[in-house]
Amino acid sequence: MRTTLLAGVFLLAATTSAFAQDVAGTFDVKFEEAGSTCSPPPVTYRTGKVVLEEKKPGVIVNIETIPEMIGGPAKKGSFKATTSTAKATTVQGLDAVYKISGRVDDNGVIAVVLVAEYQANKKAYCTQSWNISGVRADTPAKKK
């Protein structure tokens, strides 16, 4: 009985740690445009860095030239984040709401989709999206 109970505790601990995977870190990534209703597309990305931080209450995503995106807690390596409102872009006259969702696997590989919903004068203008993939460039930061 005691052996069975201990085995159950160890199995539960192993299962929990497998699902409590850390998404935090800096990732070297490449961007591939997945679609656009913009003519011409206002922004072109090739390569870059995605920085994920896990802080209360969730995930913070930083990508150079894109405003910080904030989301809920990561679950089983998956996360979602968004800007709270339309933010200024690098293109004069365009603001955008940015949304990102995807996952980081056990090997430190990131695969996400980034969507920019552009606005001009507070009216919908066009949408642009990218598939982003890459690998962890550092060790994960500890949760704060």
Please give the chain's pLDDT, 144 residues, in tens: 444 433 443 333 333 334 446 899 999 999 999 999 999 989 999 999 999 999 888 999 999 999 999 999 999 999 999 998 999 998 999 999 999 999 999 999 999 999 999 999 999 999 999 999 999 997 655 544
What whole-number distance in Å separates Cα of residue 30 and Cα of residue 79?
19
> Is residue 64 assigned to a domain?
yes
Predicted pLDDT of residue 56: 84
What whole-number distance in Å separates Cα of residue 88 and Cα of residue 83?
11
- Domain limits at 112? 22-136
Question: Which segments of 6-121 are extended strands (E)?
Answer: 25-36, 47-55, 58-63, 66-71, 78-82, 87-88, 95-104, 109-120
What whole-number distance in Å separates Cα of residue 133 and Cα of residue 124?
28
Predicted pLDDT of residue 20: 44
Q: How many domains does the chain have?
A: 1
> Is residue 17 assigned to a domain?
no
> Is residue 8 assigned to a domain?
no
> Is residue 1 assigned to a domain?
no
